[in-house]
Every structure is written in C-alpha cells, then in structure tokens.
Structure 1
Amino acid sequence: MSQPFIPNSPWRSRAAALICGAAVALMMVAQPYAAGYGPFRRTLFAELLMQWQDATWQHGALVPFIVAYLIWHRRAEAARQPCTSSRGGFVLLVFALFCYFAGYRANNFYCGYLAMMCLMAGASLWLEGVQRSRTRLFAWLMLGFMWPLPFLEESIGYQMRLLMVRTTGFVLNSVGVDALVSGTALQSMPEPELGRRAGELFSVGVAAPCSGMRSLFALLVVGALFSYFRQRVMWRRAVLFSTILPIAVVVNMVRVVVLVFAAMAFGQNWAIGDGEDKVSTFHTITGIGMFLVAVLLLQAASWLLDRCCDGRGLKRARTVSRQVAASSAS
C-alpha cells in the first residue's frame, strides 16, 4: 500500500510540496469559484473573509495560525519518520479535484471546502507517506474549524434557541418566578392584581446570537486543543471533547437566567439593552464571563477524568504489587 514510487530525495520532496502549496493557494485565492446566485463569482478566500466578519465564525481566522503551530510542534517527530509515498494519496488528490470541479459547476462553496481538505491530505500522503502524515493528523482535523458552515445556524441554531428558552422557563418557574414561554421569547407573566402587564418585569428574546452557537463553535476549537494537550490517551481525549456540548448548553442557560434576574433587579435596558441592535455592557460582560466559566468547567472535567482513571490505575498497581509480594513471600 505504501511504496516509494516518487523519488525521495529531499530537494524533490520540497519542490513537490511547494508546487502543491502553490496550487492550493491559486485554487483558493486566484480562481473565482461560486456565488450562490447571479453571475458574480467569489474566490474561496474571498468567501472566507466575508464569513469571518460574522462573530459566529471569527475563530476561523485564527485556525491557520494554530495549525501552523501544531505542525511546527511535531516537526521533530515527523522528521524521524521514513519518507515514503502512498498511492492512496494520489487517489485522494483525484477525488479532491473532482469535488472542486463539481462545486465550481454547482455554485457550492461547501464542495470547495471539502476539496481543499482532501487536497491537502492527499498531497501529504502522496509525498510523505502514511507515517509522516499521521503526525499531522490532528493539525489537519483542526483545519476543519477554519471553514464556515452557516447552514448549521439555521438548523441546529434554532433548535438550541428553543432548548434555551424552554429550559430557562422551567428553571425560572421552579424557583418561583412566573415566566411565559412563547416561541423563542421569554417574558414575565401578567399580574393584574399588581397592575403589571406581560413582559413588564423582563422580556428576553433569545435571538440567533444568543442560542449558544457562537460559544459552542469557539468552545469546540478551544476544547479540541485543550483535550489534545491535556490528555495523552486517545479515548480520554474523546471523552473530554464530548463534554463541550453539554457545558456550552448549561453555561448559556445560566447566562440567560442571570440576564433575567438582572432585568428584574435593574431594568431591561441596563441588563439586556434596548431590544434593537444595541446591547448593554452587562449583556456583553456576561457573554465573556460565561465563556471563561465554560473553560473552567472543561478543566474541572479533565481533573475528574484524571482522578477517576489515575485512581483506578493506582489501585490496580497496588493490588498487583501486593499479589507479587505475597507470592514471593510464600
């Protein structure tokens, strides 16, 4: 499966890598790709720059620098691996070119994103082989966070908004705060005996930015890096990474509850904003604070994972040592 059918001299390998890098740059920056509708076409790079202006996908602009550091971090380990060549990489290159052309004809940027990922993976396998490519697998997976996927906001984002509103309404009603859930909005119940209308104490509309999608995608990037460097065993990395979604949901729900109580205590405009484009300073601070809380919860999950796994390992080691000591004594 892995054969050196390409000359493996260093200068040929570097030249081939430079040619592949130049090809990727030209396909992303120079070649007009798609626009969705109308005759105007944008390059993949122009589409990325446009999407990165959205706060939900701003983390994508940092991903190339993170990937470059990850490759540099394991450069010595990669250099120790033999430089061979995999025929599967050439097949993957052909598939990547097919996806690129299909997306170009169909005006679909997502096919272009897939083509770039396959092209880089195929070039690595073809030029350097499986063993060296394996050292860059995590960096390649991290590169997937660079590509914006707006369709997720329309599907998963709306469901997360409904989950936020219903869960927060249940929590508020459980602690004695009468809350009315209407779609993706949450407001106080009317109290005719006190002369209060519905929504007079608080009225929170969980918009798309408040659904938790922004914090979720940013936490996925941070959590992937945290899991990779904090844990050394693959299954423990996977377990720690799987805690990101529930942490993001719980933290965002707590934020909505805090905003509701702040609106009841200090007023709607102070806690949330004027309900239009302008949000209050407190609203912004809670977003930053809850993100930091989510990172701390991720650290706590890692600590619990270490305690459980290391504790079992230590207990097993003590049991084995006692058995060895008992057998030697007899």
Structure 2
Amino acid sequence: MSSHATTVLRNALLVLALGMALLLLVGLQPYAAGYGHFRRTLFEELLMRWKDPTWQHGVLLPFIVGYLIWRRREQTMQTALSSSRWGFLISVFGFLLYLAGFRANNFYCGYLSIMTLLAGTSLWLQGVQRSRQMLFAWLMLGFMWPLPFLEESIGYQMRLMMVKTTGFVLNAAGVDSLVAGTALQSMPNLEFGRKAGELFSVGIAAPCSGMRSLFALLVVGALFSYFRQRIPWRRLALFSTILPIAIVANMVRILVLIFAAMIFGQNWAIGDVEKEVSTFHELTGVVVFLVALMLLQVASWLLNRVCSGLGFKRARVVSRQVVSSLP
C-alpha cells in the first residue's frame, strides 16, 4: 500500500473516531441546564431552542453547511492533503473548553468548544489549504447555535429604536403620531373628534422589534453575499449592510401594519396582540424578507457599480502613465 493510501486510510479512521466522539459529546453526554441540578445534552438544548421562532432557522443550518461542503468538493479534492500540528493543539484546547463549560454548567462554552473542535480537527487532518476551502461552511455553522442572551441584551434597545424611527417617519409623512415607551399611537385630533390611538395603536412587542427576523436575515445575508460576490472584501462589505437593512425592512412592516389599521381598522390589520394577532399581521412577516432581499440586491448592485467605476479610473491612470513613458 502506498504512503498516500495509508495516509488516507489513517485519516478516514481518525475522522470516524472523532465523529463518534462528537456524537457522544453533543448527543449523549448530559452537559448543562443553565440553572438547577439536572443536565441536558447540547442536542436537547438545540431542539428546545429551535422551537422558538427566533432560532428556527438553526434547523436548516446543518443541511446548508452540508450543501456548501458538497458544492466545493472538487476544489477540495484537488487541494493537496496535509497536516497541521496547530490543528491538534486547537483540538485539545476545544476539548478543555468543553470540560470548562461542563463544570461551569454553561451551554455557550459547549457551543464554542464544538466549533473549536471542528476547526482544529480539520486543520489537523486536512491542513491549512483544505480547511480554507471549508472556512465559509464552518462560519455558517456558527449560526446554528442559539444565543438567547442577545435577545435580552439588545432586544429592548431595538424596540426603542424601532418605535422612535417609525414615529419619526410617520410624523415626517404627515401622520401625527405619539411615542410612549415602546408603543406608538395616533395623536388626538379635536377638529375631527378623534381620540388618541383611535386611528392606530401599536405596541412594539419583542417579536416586532426585529430580533425575531434579525438572526434569520443574518443567515440570508451571509449566503446572499457569498453567492453574489466573489472577492472576500466585497462579501464582507455587503454582509455588513444586513443590520441596517434588517432595521429598515422591519420598519416597513410596521408601517404597512399602521397604514392597514388606518384604512381597514385596528382589529383587521393587527388584531388583539395580547390574545390573538390577525391573519394579516402574521402574513406581513414575509414583507421583512422581501424588502431585505430587495435592499441586498440594491446594495450589491451599488457595490459593483462603485468598484467598476474605481477600476475604470485606475485603468485610465495606468494607461496615461504608460503613454507618458513612451518615447
């Protein structure tokens, strides 16, 4: 048996062993519960969190990552197989991080440790060049892990920003509105005998703050940037627009609800948020993604135009320099 075949067989056996170890660490070993004396496995925690609409996109990530790896299979196979000692050290660090999270009863350490183990194993068994081919797939896998502490830390601030921004747009459009905390309602009009909130009264709850769609839009934005652009810095520039785009898209949804409430009535457009929202309210969730995709397309087009313009100017400068250097 040749040395190359021996290396491939050894790596295949190592991958099988590490795969079994990963299955044990994620699916079988009780890990943490956050609070209390009982423990859940990392997989049980994922299943529980994925029931929340904010994190439902995590169910699709393993399939998306699998497709991304399969899509680059030819480039990966053409890259020379090597090994990196740094990968082994990173794997050891990932395992120690897993133990630290187990002792601290903290799921987030477990999430980070699994990502670290995957990165280290890839470097150890495949080398830097092949691991680079899978870098984007590995980054996308990071969106699979639920991070509910972000909802608590920035969710309320996003609600306040959404209310103030929407109120500013309504007032600028001539629709007098009043902002009270995280609620938005129409101003009273003595001339027409309207009370405050008679035309519309919208309470920006946590799901309407944009947090529910933000994380799913991050996944959409990352995939859109990856497939629409080819140069890494352009991909990063386009992806960086997803946060303001998510805010604008969610604000458009709130405006659609408000104008629908003014035309067709509060119950039809919004419903009773404390009991049951209307069907129209539920359907407008699609608006966020449609607007976000449209704005991403516009941002990608503008990025291409700017870069092509800069390239044209650079080419003109170079051509002038060449002409001036001719005898």
Contact 1:67 1:143 in 2 (8 A): yes
* Amino acid paired to 1:112: G
TM-score normalized by the length of structure 2: 0.94
Shift in Å, 1:313: 1.5
Equivalent-residue separation in structure 2 for 1:8 and 1:283 (angstroms): 61
- Can you give the 5+ residue segments of structure 2 that lack an aligned partner in the other structure? none
* Amino acid paired to 1:219: L
Q: Does 2:55 match 1:57?
A: yes
Aligned to 1:180: 178
Query: Which range moved further: 274-283 or 133-142?
Result: 274-283
* Amino acid paired to 1:26: L
Equivalent-residue separation in structure 1 for 2:273 and 2:53 (angstroms): 19
* Amino acid paired to 2:182: T
Aligned to 2:276: 278
Contact 1:8 1:83 in 2 (8 A): no
- Residue 103 of structure 1: SS of its match in structure 2? helix
Equivalent-residue separation in structure 1 for 2:209 and 2:289 (angstroms): 14
Equivalent-residue separation in structure 1 for 2:277 and 2:6 (angstroms): 59
* Alpha-carbon displacement from aligned partner over 1:52-79 (angstroms, at most 9, x marks no partner): 1111101111011111111111112122
Aligned identity (percent) is 70
Equivalent-residue separation in structure 2 for 1:116 and 1:27 (angstroms): 9
Aligned to 1:4: none
Equivalent-residue separation in structure 1 for 2:285 and 2:170 (angstroms): 20
Query: Which range moved further: 113-122 or 76-85?
Result: 76-85
Residue of structure 2 aligned with 1:130, choices 128, 141, 145: 128
Aligned to 1:3: none
- Residue 197 of structure 1: SS of its match in structure 2? coil
Contact 1:8 1:84 in 2 (8 A): no
Aligned to 2:29: 31
Query: Which range moved further: 188-197 or 70-79?
Result: 188-197
Equivalent-residue separation in structure 2 for 1:322 and 1:146 (angstroms): 52
- Residue 70 of structure 2: SS of its match in structure 1? helix
- Residue 180 of structure 1: SS of its match in structure 2? strand
Aligned to 2:287: 289
- Can you give the 5+ residue segments of structure 1 that lack an aligned partner in the other structure? 1-6
Equivalent-residue separation in structure 2 for 1:243 and 1:111 (angstroms): 29
- Residue 181 of structure 1: SS of its match in structure 2? strand
Number of equivalenced pairs: 324
Equivalent-residue separation in structure 1 for 2:15 and 2:47 (angstroms): 25
TM-score normalized by the length of structure 1: 0.93
Equivalent-residue separation in structure 2 for 1:204 and 1:140 (angstroms): 40
Say what the alpha-carbon RMSD is for the aligned residues.
1.9
- Residue 186 of structure 1: SS of its match in structure 2? strand
